[in-house]
Amino acid sequence: MATEQAESEGMDSHLRSITVTSLASIGGIAAALVSSAMTADMAPADAAMHQPAQAIVLALVLVQIPLYRAIGAYGEEGPGIKDYLFIAFMTFALWFVTWGIMLETGFGISF
């Protein structure tokens, strides 16, 4: 009974999992592209230590929390600490891997 009520207020658990995982992953890749654009004219060793480029991923994690509430992914109870950690980890992991590959291969994007 409680499960039916929770599912009627927001997304069902499977759709919520797919939505949160895909948006966090796409967000991490987008953050890596922005970080790459910010450091396009730097050497890879200097670019990796560029703090504004690293702050992009933190800003994106903080923007995602209200976004998930706005699309109704968590209903009225909101995300728990486990959900916050999952969103932060997925976004950071995809940003780290994507930007690392871009730095290593010399693939830079400039806007």
Q: Tens of pLDDT along 32-67?
A: 999 888 887 877 777 777 778 889 999 999 999 888
Every domain of the chain and the residues it spans:
11-104
pTM, two decimals, is: 0.80
Q: If you write DSSP's letter for every residue of 78-101 in order, what string do you get?
A: ---HHHHHHHHHHHHHHHHHHHHH
Is residue 14 within 8 A of residue 80, CB to CB? The reply is no
- Residue 3 — very low, low, confident or very high, per pLDDT cuts 50/70/90? very low
Rounded Cα distance between 93 and 78, Å, is: 23
Mean of pLDDT values over 66-87: 84
Q: Report the alpha-carbon distance of residue 96 to residue 32 in Å, rounded.
A: 7
Q: Quick one: CA torsion of 96, 90, 26, 31, rounded to 10 degrees?
A: -40
Q: Give me 28's structure tokens.
A: 């991490």
- Residue 10: the pLDDT is 59
Please state the rounded mean pLDDT for residues 78-93.
Answer: 90
Average pLDDT over residues 79-95: 92
